[in-house]
């Protein structure tokens, strides 16, 4: 019987969800959770903050300040992890030139440089699950690339989580490949994600899913709510690349909630519930927060599966702010506001999701479904 699924990518995720609901839990997943180190994450976030600013247009020559120093340090950490696992990671820079005037936040030509570490799968090396964090930071003026911009939570937390996930998962073998990815240019227009999504397409990669981590270290909301258990998973309904034929089919057969990114979000949710029941994942059926954007979006724009994982209760006095005190309120994304235990928990959420997907079989081919 002919199956009218608009994209088979989510079919394998459905199978995995069904299987994991009835199968015994995997002891290796608990090992992964326990291996995530709060201390290492704190050290890494502290180091990223120490670069002063990581603005996309900041200094690239200094060894101690600016985005150039930050990305070289990130690469060195991936290299160390690779050395510890007998060169199991392929570590490199991937870059794209963004020209002045591309938008009003690109005030000079700049190389947007991503840091990539690939752990090749043993059986399906061309199938990839990706965890990303953002390297860059900013203050109130998005074009100010000289002022101190710690970016402790936004997004040293997500980048540190990605580095830590590489350390932990590099101790295992997976059938599918895993990419640990540091993206630049997020605050200037999601340029790092655009460049890497294009790179993946040019390489002919089959992407299982992208887990974008953006702000995973804050537990105190501006609304006064404090929670070290809640976190949000954002996912769009259907790929923006769907054809008119697929759109019409969806209109009559349904499927708005069955889009590929929604399936990945639900898989992350169920995996967390099974192995980390103390956590409270919140499925947000929207691409991102109202009027905001994250680095999963360029992958979605390219037709890939992608979600955003982040804290549930935001504090806007600590996002995109000059460091200052006004009316008794302290502004700025400083190290002291990061909860490292919480960042470690969300890092573990990513690690167990990626491990489960990387150990999973590929989806059935279309011909197999048609003949069934």
Residue 60 sits in a domain whose CATH number is 3.40.630.10
Q: Which domain holds residue 277?
A: 9-370
3-state helix, strand, coil in the chain (%, to 5): 40, 20, 40
Residue 24 banded pLDDT, cuts 50, 70, 90: low
Tokens of residue 306, six digits = 């992608």
CA dist 360 and 109 (Å) reads 42
**Residue 206 pLDDT exceeds 70:** yes
Model confidence at 23: pLDDT above 60? no
Number of domains in the chain: 1
- pLDDT value, residue 257: 84
pLDDT at residue 11 in the model: 46
Q: Is residue 1 part of a domain?
A: no
d(CA 110, CA 99): 7
> What mean pLDDT do residues 155-164 have?
98
Higher pLDDT, 223 or 272: 272
Is 80 exceeded by the pLDDT of residue 13? no
Q: Is residue 2 part of a domain?
A: no
Q: Is residue 162 part of a domain?
A: yes
Position 323 in a domain: yes
4 found inside a domain: no
**Is residue 217 one of the residues assigned to a domain?**
yes
- Higher-pLDDT residue of 107, 363: 107
pLDDT value at position 366? Answer: 62
Split at pLDDT 50, 70, 90, the class of 188 is very high
Q: What is the predicted pLDDT for the residue at 340?
A: 98
Which pLDDT value is given to residue 5?
Answer: 40
Q: For residue 267, is pLDDT > 70?
A: yes
Residue carrying structure tokens 């109130």:
140
- Residue 270 located in a structural domain: yes
**Beta-bridge partner residues of 210:** 130, 306
> Is residue 33 over pLDDT 70?
yes
Query: pTM (2 decimals)?
Result: 0.92
The residue ranges of DSSP E strands in the chain, in sequence order, are 89-98, 110-119, 124-134, 176-183, 206-213, 230-234, 280-284, 306-311, 324-326, 329-331
pLDDT at 367 over 50: yes
In a domain, residue 3? The reply is no
d(C-alpha 352, C-alpha 346), whole Å: 10
pLDDT above 50 (res 20): no
Phi-psi region at 281: left, alpha or beta (left = phi > 0; alpha = psi -120 to 50): beta
């Amino acid at each position: 019987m002919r199956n009218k699924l608009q994209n088979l990518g989510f079919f394998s995720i459905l199978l995995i969800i069904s299987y994991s609901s009835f199968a015994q839990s995997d002891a290796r997943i608990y090992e992964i959770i326990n291996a995530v180190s709060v201390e290492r994450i704190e050290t890494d976030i502290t180091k990223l903050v120490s670069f002063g600013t990581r603005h996309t247009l900041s200094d690239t020559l200094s060894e101690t300040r600016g985005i150039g120093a930050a990305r070289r340090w990130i690469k060195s950490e991936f290299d160390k992890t690779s050395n510890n696992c007998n060169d199991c990671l392929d570590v490199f820079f991937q870059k794209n030139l963004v020209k002045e005037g591309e938008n009003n936040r690109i005030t000079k030509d700049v190389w947007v440089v991503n840091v990539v570490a690939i752990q090749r799968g043993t059986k399906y090396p061309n199938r990839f699950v990706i965890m990303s964090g953002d390297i860059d930071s900013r203050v109130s003026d998005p074009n100010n690339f000289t002022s101190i911009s710690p970016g402790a939570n936004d997004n040293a937390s997500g980048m540190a989580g990605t580095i830590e996930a590489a350390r932990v998962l590099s101790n295992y073998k997976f059938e599918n490949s895993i990419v640990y990815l540091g993206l630049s240019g997020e605050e200037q227009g999601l340029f790092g994600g655009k460049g890497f999504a294009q790179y993946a397409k040019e390489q002919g990669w089959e992407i299982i899913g992208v887990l974008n981590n953006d702000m995973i270290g804050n537990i105190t909301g501006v609304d006064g709510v404090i929670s070290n258990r809640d976190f949000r998973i954002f996912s769009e309904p259907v790929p923006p690349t769907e054809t008119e034929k697929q759109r019409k089919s969806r209109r009559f057969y349904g499927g708005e909630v069955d889009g590929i990114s929604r399936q990945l979000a639900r898989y992350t949710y169920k995996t967390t519930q099974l192995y980390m029941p103390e956590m409270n994942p919140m499925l947000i059926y929207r691409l991102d927060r109202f009027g905001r954007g994250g680095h999963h979006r360029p992958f979605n724009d390219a037709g890939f599966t992608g979600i955003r994982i982040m804290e549930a209760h935001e504090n806007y006095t600590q996002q995109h702010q000059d460091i200052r005190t006004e009316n008794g309120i302290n502004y700025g994304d400083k190290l002291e506001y990061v909860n490292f235990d919480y960042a470690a928990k969300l890092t573990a959420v990513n690690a167990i999701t990626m491990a489960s997907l990387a150990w999973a079989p590929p989806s059935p081919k279309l011909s197999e479904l048609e003949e069934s």
